């Protein structure tokens, strides 16, 4: 048994892998930010979509993986963001780009009363309750005749022009997607490294134990739900500008904005920051190869999610992290002993 004195170890919050990963991420971000000058519009479109799914998965993972709030109704805020953006642009003449943060703010305000309703439901019933909310939003949107009712509405050319000519429009929507994707990732990373993050990780590991240590689980969850709602609505706002159209069935689609997102997180690894990234990569790879098969592709995704949940519940990244001790986004504290030589 080795004796340690206080000076014989040091505490670090990063690993060699995480420093390299951080540097690579920044370089990658810089290269991507220049993409409008070197890439085709098809690439910009795909990369924008990638960023959207990465952001949605990261946020859903923050709720489900860290606070146990499994929502099957995040499409409520995706659709709300789109509809709010269109309303602001069409009725108040707000520039669509400026409408994105406003839509996020408005959705966060709407999420306050919604949260106090759905938080009355526990566990799995919360999941279905959140779905009911999304259905209510969808049905209300379908009644909004000024926004095209059930068939939806396209952004009029006059409003689209405010976004600039084709190149500028595509570039700014891409930059926004990149900013939201990277922003959500950074938000979750910094949040988890903060005091709240410590509380969240404690809640994830044991609700009972964290309550006994004085963490107010209820209010932490509440605040987080509202923050995530606002950010999800900003992503929804962006999606509506990518598509230049909103319709109730597409904007509030449970398949597009929740089912795929859940599969991404489950496959990549729930409760880790890296999981949603890996999951999004796997999802896009599968989609590129299998999307032509339509229903078979969805059958495969569903089966893969079930198999992973049963065989490796922590997903691909959780499995790798456990085996090899990898961590690209370290949020904990590591103690290093000089004589043990291990990171």
Which secondary-structure segment (H or E) carries 324? helix 315-324
* For other proteins, the closer CB: 74 or 242: 74
Q: Could you give phi then psi for residue 93, rounded to 5 degrees?
A: 65, 20
Q: What's the min distance (Å) between Cβ of 217 and other proteins?
A: 14
* For other proteins, the closer CB: 123 or 341: 123
Q: What's the min distance (Å) between Cβ of 262 and other proteins?
A: 6
**Strand ranges for 187-276 from DSSP E:** 245-246
Q: What's the min distance (Å) between Cβ of 329 and other proteins?
A: 21
Q: At what angle do helices 41-61 and 217-243 cross, to 10 degrees?
A: 160
* For other proteins, the closer CB: 313 or 338: 313
* For other proteins, the closer CB: 260 or 329: 260
Q: What's the min distance (Å) between Cβ of 183 and other proteins?
A: 26
Residue 4: count of CB within 10 angstroms of its CB: 12
* For other proteins, the closer CB: 9 or 119: 119
Q: How far apart are CA 332 and CA 137, in angstroms?
A: 39
Q: What's the min distance (Å) between Cβ of 304 and other proteins?
A: 8
What's the token pair of residue 156? 């009029």
Q: Helix %, strand %, coil % for the chain, to 5?
A: 75, 5, 20
Residue 334 β-bridge partners: 12
**All residues at 6 or more sequence positions from 307 whose CB lies less than 8 Å from its CB, including other chains:** none
What's the token pair of residue 120? 């009355």
Q: What's the min distance (Å) between Cβ of 64 and other proteins?
A: 7
Q: What's the min distance (Å) between Cβ of 202 and other proteins?
A: 16
Q: Could you give phi then psi for residue 326, rounded to 5 degrees?
A: -70, 150
Give Rg (Cα) of the chain.
21
Q: How far apart are CA 40 and CA 71, in angstroms?
A: 36
* For other proteins, the closer CB: 49 or 135: 135
Residue 318: count of CB within 10 angstroms of its CB: 20
Q: How far apart are CA 271 and CA 192, in angstroms?
A: 11
Residues of this chain that interact with other proteins (CB under 8 A) are 64, 68, 70, 72, 117, 120-125, 127-129, 131-132, 135-136, 139-140, 142-143, 254-255, 259, 262-263, 266, 270, 295-296, 298-299, 301-303, 305-306, 309-310, 313
Q: What's the min distance (Å) between Cβ of 298 and other proteins?
A: 4
**All residues at 6 or more sequence positions from 202 whose CB lies less than 8 Å from its CB, including other chains:** 209, 210, 213, 215
* For other proteins, the closer CB: 181 or 271: 271
CA distances from 243 to 232, 235, 287 (A): 16, 12, 19
Q: How far apart are CA 85 and CA 241, in angstroms?
A: 9
* For other proteins, the closer CB: 60 or 187: 60
* For other proteins, the closer CB: 66 or 174: 66
Q: What's the min distance (Å) between Cβ of 332 and other proteins?
A: 21
């Amino acid at each position: 048994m080795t004796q340690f004195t206080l000076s014989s170890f040091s505490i670090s919050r990063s690993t060699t892998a995480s420093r390299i990963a951080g540097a690579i991420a920044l370089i990658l971000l810089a290269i991507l930010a220049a993409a409008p000058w070197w890439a085709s519009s098809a690439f910009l479109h795909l990369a924008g979509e990638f960023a959207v799914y990465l952001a949605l998965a990261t946020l859903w993972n923050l709720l489900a993986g860290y606070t146990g709030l499994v929502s099957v109704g995040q499409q409520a805020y995706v659709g709300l963001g789109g509809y709010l953006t269109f309303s602001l642009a069409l009725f108040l003449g707000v520039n669509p780009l400026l409408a994105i943060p406003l839509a996020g703010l408005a959705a966060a305000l709407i999420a306050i009363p919604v949260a106090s309703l759905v938080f009355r439901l526990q566990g799995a019933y919360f999941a279905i309750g959140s779905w009911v909310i999304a259905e209510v939003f969808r049905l209300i949107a379908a009644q909004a005749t000024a926004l095209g009712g059930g068939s939806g509405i396209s952004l009029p050319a006059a409003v689209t022009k405010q976004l600039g000519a084709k190149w500028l429009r595509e570039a700014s929507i891409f930059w926004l997607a990149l900013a939201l994707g990277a922003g959500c990732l950074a938000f979750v990373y910094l949040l988890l490294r903060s005091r709240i993050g410590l509380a969240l990780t404690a809640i994830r590991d044991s609700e009972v134990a964290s309550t006994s240590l004085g963490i107010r689980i209820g209010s932490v969850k509440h605040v987080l739900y509202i923050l995530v709602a606002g950010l999800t609505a900003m992503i929804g706002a962006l999606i509506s500008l990518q598509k230049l159209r909103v319709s109730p069935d597409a904007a509030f689609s449970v398949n597009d904005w929740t089912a795929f997102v859940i599969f991404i997180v489950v496959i990549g690894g729930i409760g880790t920051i890296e999981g949603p990234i890996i999951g999004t990569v796997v999802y896009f790879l599968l989609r590129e190869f299998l999307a032509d098969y339509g229903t078979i592709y969805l059958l495969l995704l569903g089966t893969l999610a079930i198999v992973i949940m049963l065989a490796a519940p922590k997903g691909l990244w959780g499995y790798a992290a456990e085996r090899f001790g990898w961590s690209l986004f370290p949020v904990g504290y590591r103690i290093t002993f000089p004589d043990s030589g291990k990171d």
